[in-house]
Structure formats: C-alpha cells, structure tokens
A and B are shown apart, each in its own frame.
Chain A
Amino acid sequence: MSVVSQIRPPLRKPRTKGRPAHTAAMLVAPFAVFFVAMYLAPLGFAIYRSLFVLKRDGLGLSAPTMVFDPFTNYLKAFSDPVFIESLGRVLLFGVVQVPVMLGLATALALLIDSRSARAKGFFRLTSFLPYAVPGVIAALMWSFLYSGSSSPINALLEPLGVVIPFLSEDMVLWSVANIVTWGWTGYNMIIIYSALQSIPGEILEAAKIDGASAWKIAWNIKIPMVRPALILTTVFSIIGTAQLYNEPKVLQSVSGGSIDSAFTPIMAAQAATAAQNYPYAAATSVILAVLVGILSITFFKITNRGSDS
C-alpha cells in the first residue's frame, strides 16, 4: 500500500569545479540506476513473461517449457470470473472508501488549520500516528478486534444483544475499508494540511474583512486553493486501492472463508505465482497496471478540464 518512496538519493557536496552537465548526470545517476534496475527492468520482464505459456507433456514431472503465445494469458484473464470479480471488488472499494477517507482527511486538515484550533501539534501527531504503524501490524491488530472469538467490541456489545459480524461475507470488504481509512486518513490529512499552509494570509484576511464566515472561507477559498493536493491524494489513493493486499491477506485466516485466495487482484496474482504460473501472474499484473494507469490519467484529465473553464 505504500505509494510514496522513502528512498532518498544520497546527498553529495556541491562541486564547484567541473562541467554542469557532468555534475547533473552524476546527480541523476543514482536515481536513474535505481529506476531502471528496480522499476523498468522488472516491468519489462513481467510484460515479456506474460507473453509465454507453460507447456508440459505426459505426467509433467520435468521442467516445463515456455512457449511464445502472446494472447493466451490475457484472454484467460479476461474470461476468468475470479479475476474479474476481484477487479470489481476493488473498484467498489475505491468508489466508496476513497471519497470517505479524503473527506475525513480534508475535514481534519481544515479543523486543525482553523484559527480557533488548540493543541494543533497534538492533533496533527495523533491523527497521523496510525500511518506510522506498519500495514501488516495494523491489520493484525484489527483482526483481533474483528475476530469472532476475541473481539472486545462484540464483547462490549453482547449485553445489548448486538453482535457485529465484521468478517461476514457482506461486511468484510467494509471492515477492510475501515482499516485502510484508519491507517491512511492522517497521511492524506498531512498533505492537505501542508497545502493549506501555503495559502497566502492576505487572501484569508481580505475574506474576513469582507465578512465571510469561517465556513464560507473553508468552502469557497481554502478547498479550491488546495485542489492540487486533493487531486494528488486521490491519485495516490486510486493506486493504493488497486494494490490492496496487506489488510485482506492478514484477515484471510480468521475470515472464515469470506476472504478467498483471489479477494483482490494482487492476491490473485500472488496465488498464481504460488501455483508456479508466473506468466499468468505477470499477465494479470500488467492488466491491473494498465487499468490503474488509464483510471489515473482519466481522473487527471477530468479535473484539469474543470480548472480550464
């Protein structure tokens, strides 16, 4: 689910001597090497592998041969109900969870940014803290809160005659959404909050003098001015949703079958890898990447068109 790379190229002391172009190349080189080795090369290899199919004969008790057959894996993926279902599931997830999370993040950022807010540092830190918990650990913690036999939430509700079936087939997707929202709202809030910080004070001052209420300022000035940050966080969230894996994978063992091996596209690809079918796993991954690319670009296009008019 991590969408922002934490890697920074090593800092070097600026060199005053030598040609600038040379220096630039030196500075870019570490990034370029990592980008090619860690991103382009695996991507190219995945595309290449997806064009082959495994062939065996007899009992299949010797190493399979790879036969070039560029369409088979892709046709199989598009006619594989399990894979299509997993795509539909994350789409539904994204349509609901991303607006909820970003709405919450924006509201939090506006609250902390408002003039009358107290203890800003404390609230900033606490709402960001869940993000500092690694995804798998967070999911483990939530699996304990959800799981039928150990859930303290249901233990509290039991006297009232209420039991929430967090892991039932109908609810499990939203239980996962809750974990993701819990973990990522603070992260998005920080991005939006820093955008709010860059709004010039004069504009806000002028609005105040004109008699605009805090609500009006937030809705008509602040939100439009942090639009780029909102677009950025939306695109990050779309990508993150497509890569949904940690949370459902951890919940799988306690879900009583509600989360199967192909709950999300990444889980389906991982299952294909475990079954030694690398070419098929590569094909589904390529399809997912292309779909996310199309979705993100479409989103950029739509929001940009709005700002031009």
Chain B
Amino acid sequence: MNSFKRWGIATAGTLAAALALTACGGGSGTPTQSSSPAAASSSAASPAELTFWGWAPGYSDSVKAFNASQSDIVVKFEEIQPGSRGGYEKMLNAVQAGNAACLGQVGYETLTSFAAQGALEDVSQFANANQSEYVDFAWNSVKVGDAVYGAPVDTGPMALFYNKELFEKYDVEVPTTWVEYKAAAEKLQAADAKIKISSPYANYDYAGLSWQAGAPWFNIEGDSWKVSVDSDENKKVADYWQSLVDADTIASAPMYDPAWFKGLGDGSIATLVGAVWQAGVIKGDAADGKGKWAVAPMPQWDAANPSVGNVGGSATAVLKGCETPEAAWKFANYLSTDADSYGNLIEKGALYPAAKALLELPQLTNEDAYFSNQKIFDVFKEEALRVNPEWTWGPNMPLTTTKLDDGLNKSWAGNGKMADALTEANTATVENMTSQGINVTD
C-alpha cells in the first residue's frame, strides 16, 4: 500500500501542476510595461500623461519615438493580450471600474460593439480636422453616426492569393472576375480532383466577401438600425459560394487550422481571398509554399466597376473616462501618420497604413521572396483605393458572427444552404436588438 500512496501523492502533484498550467493558459495575462516614458523636458507646464493599451508589435517603439519628439504629452505603453484573447474584456471591465487607460487598440469590427457598451469617448471635435489625411473607408470605420472614437491605424484591403505554380502547371488563367474564378475552380478540379480552389470562410473573413459585393450587413437610418445580413445582395454572394461547395471545389480544412496550412503548402488549396495581413500568416505557417504563391487583384463581380472588401485593421480608440482626450487624439494621430514610426510598424507587424500619405512608404515597395520576389504591396496599394466605403458594423458583432458561423460552417461542409445561414443570423440579430429595445427598421 505504501508504494500506492506515494504514487498517488506524486500523481496528485503532477495533476495539480498540470491543472495550474492549463488554468494560467486560459487567463488574461497581466500587462507588462514595455516602455517607460521618456524623461520629460523641463518645460513650464507639466506634461499630460496618458496610458495606451495595445498588443501590435512595434507599438512600444512608436510610443518611445512620440515621447522623444515633443514635451507636452507623455504616453505610457502597456502591452496587453490581443483583443479576442482577453484584451477587449480587460478594456470593457476597466471602463466599468473607472480605471481604464486613455487609449486602447480596438479592431474596427469591435468598435461599434464597444460604443454599444458605452466604452468609448467621442473625440470628433479634435479629430475632424485630420479627416482628410485618412483613406475614406478607414475613417468611416472609426465613426459611428457623427461620433469619432479614435484614429484608424491600419487596414486590411483584400486581394487574391493564388498558387502560381499550380495555375501555370495546369495552364489556368488567373481569374479577374468571380465567373472566371469558378471556371478556374472547375478546371483545376478536372485536372486533379485533389485540388480545391479555396477553403471555408467564416465570420469576418466571410464579411470581407460581402463587403466587396456592396452587400452591407448593417446600416444606420436616422434613429434606427437596418439589418440586412440576408439581403438579396448578400444572398447573391452566399449562392455563389454555395455553388462552389456544390461543385465540390472547396476544401474541408477550416482557415487557420493546421490542415489548412498544410493544404496551402502542398498545393491542394489553390487560392485564398484574403486581406493584406494574410501574407504574413501564410508566410509564417505555410512555409512549404515559398516561391509558389503570388498575389493578384481581388476577382470582381463587375469588372467595369471594381470594388474591394476589407478584413481586419484596427484603431487607436479613446476609452471612456479619458481625462485628456485632446492629448490622446494627438498621440493616436501621430501613431497612424508619422512616417518613421510607421515604417517600423510595417517591418515589425506587417501593418498596412490607413493614412494616405503613408501608402508611399519605401517599406511598401520591398520584394518578397515567399512570393517569388513579387512586390506584393503594389497590388494592395491599388486595392486599398478601391475598398468599398459603404460598410457599417453592427452593435453586437459577437452575436451576429456566432449565429452566422453556426450556419455557415454546416453549409461549407455540405449540410444546409448558406442563404439559410444568412436568414438565421439576421433573425437572431434582429431578435436580440429588439428584445433590448433598440430601434430596428425593416
């Protein structure tokens, strides 16, 4: 019995340690201070001090550069967990507790939901003067109604990532329209049944496809919302992808899954319709694809009137309770527009600027070995200017995207119709909004 006891105790200890480890893994991390404020120069008035919560690589360098560049404002950068991994929760909780930082990194898709929690401060009185410095749709992304909640930092204009080697091997033209895209899918499939044109798109990656098609999900009309997730325009997009599923030209591997990266690398997934930052994602995790992939403009619905979607991108938002909103705006604007600081952000985090002047940065003309030395940002520069400015995010995106994904994932697997997934997401969204007393028009 003694050996059993000892063994039991040892096991219990191992278990406790394992549990503790898993518990830590799930929790939101404690912020680590990545930079200390630069020594303030000895000007007469004491400088305004404010804190900035973010996670993008390179932000701490930008903060240091900003503090060194002037003496009126001292920004303290605290690195937090990325938003979806606890960062947003931290911000919302801190706003409720009244001890939030002045500025926070908030994704565009989440910004309206933040506004709906009363977690943001309107800085339009300081910000509107700088509006012309930004790409139109990016500016729209930080605006809800007339309120401006922060400065857009980066955008995610979309393009077509494609496996050039495959397209050349089977003599398939790179598609410029969605009709050609489907033809390419069938041609590749006929050449080798293992080759799928793409993989399932969910939530915000799927939203980019609707965005391009001029099929908004939400709109504000006067004092009420219009929810149009299942509009005719949206059904057109859904039916198109449904037809690709029905033709068995979509891979089963969900995006960002190891199986997806494997498919991108080994030539069984031929394209990815995605945002500029996907370049970094596939370079990092589908290393086998090096030298095979290339970037082309996003396929069009109407070649005569090209339009492009956007996925991702984030703002430096002013959180509720900030006592120095003007200083906060000054820093936010600097972070988004200063050429030296932004060059560093491109190199460290592959951010794509939301400020017009920065689209000419030398860092955006580099050749990329992964893409056989193509200057991929040349493509994205064209695409960024074509991004459809008409897009508004809803007041509760987690709810909408959760319901949408429930249906879409089934449809991508061949069980159910995408158009039905849109209807279900639309119904659930409207039900949620009206039950809370939010105005919704038909």
Residues of A within 8 A of B (CB): 2, 6, 53-64, 121, 124-125, 128, 131-137, 147-150, 169, 190, 197, 253-258, 260-262, 271, 274-277
Contact = CB atoms under 8 A, between A and B. Distances in A.
A257 B412 contact: yes
Contact of B11 (A55, A58, A132, A277): A132
A276 B113 contact: yes
Contact of A256 (B3, B4, B118, B413): B413
A128 B438 CA distance: 53
23 contacts: A55-B437, A56-B438, A57-B437, A57-B438, A58-B224, A59-B395, A60-B116, A60-B395, A61-B116, A61-B144, A132-B14, A134-B18, A136-B22, A197-B1, A253-B257, A254-B254, A254-B259, A256-B409, A257-B412, A257-B415, A257-B416, A276-B399, A277-B399
Given A54-B436, A59-B224, A150-B262, 20 more contacts: A56-B116, A59-B395, A59-B438, A60-B116, A61-B144, A61-B395, A64-B117, A121-B7, A124-B7, A133-B18, A134-B18, A135-B22, A149-B259, A254-B259, A257-B411, A258-B413, A260-B406, A261-B406, A271-B402, A275-B399
Nearest to A128: B11
B15 A6 contact: yes
Given A63-B118, A149-B252, A275-B396, A134 B19 contact: yes
Given A169-B415, A276-B396, A6 B12 contact: yes
Nearest to A8: B16
A257 B14 contact: no
Contact of A2 (B1, B19, B257): B19
Q: Which 4 A-B pairs have the closest CB atoms?
A: A63-B118, A256-B413, A257-B410, A257-B409
Contacts of B18: 132-134
Contacts of B168: none
Contacts of A57: 437-439
Nearest to B114: A61
A64 B395 CA distance: 12
Given A275-B432, A276-B113, A125 B145 contact: no
A129 B4 CA distance: 15
Contacts of A137: 22
B390 interface: no
A190 B11 CA distance: 12
B19 A256 contact: no
B379 interface: no
Given A60-B395, A61-B116, A148 B439 contact: no
Contacts of B436: 53-56, 60, 64
Nearest to B251: A149
B224 A149 contact: no
Contacts of B412: 256-257
B115 interface: yes
Nearest to B92: A276
Contact of A61 (B145, B409, B413, B416): B145
Contacts of A135: 22
Interface string B209-232: 000000000001001110000000
A254 B251 CA distance: 12
A84 to B, nearest CB: 16
Contacts, number: 136
Nearest to A144: B258
Interface of A is mostly: loop
Nearest to A76: B435
B402 A62 contact: no
B164 interface: no
A6 B399 contact: no
A256 B405 contact: no
B398 interface: yes
Interface string B367-408: 000000000000000000000000000011011001101111
Contacts of A258: 410, 413, 415
A271 B21 CA distance: 25
A63 to B, nearest CB: 3
A228 to B, nearest CB: 19
A147 B252 CA distance: 10
Interface in B1-46: 1, 3-4, 7-8, 11-12, 14-16, 18-19, 21-22
A6 B19 contact: yes
Given A59-B223, A60-B116, A121-B3, A134 B395 contact: no
Contacts of A54: 436
B178 to A, nearest CB: 24
Contacts of B112: 61
A257 B15 contact: no
Contact of A59 (B1, B225, B398): B225
Given A62-B118, A147-B259, A276-B398, A132 B15 contact: yes
B438 A256 contact: no
B217 to A, nearest CB: 15
A45 to B, nearest CB: 14
A148 B16 CA distance: 34
Contacts of A58: 223-224, 438-439
B433 interface: yes
Contacts of B4: 121, 124
A261 B425 CA distance: 13
B253 interface: yes
A48 to B, nearest CB: 16
B86 to A, nearest CB: 12
Interface string B107-144: 00000110111110000000000000000000000001
Nearest to A120: B4
Nearest to A252: B409
A175 to B, nearest CB: 15
A276 B397 CA distance: 10
A276 B117 CA distance: 9
A112 B294 CA distance: 61
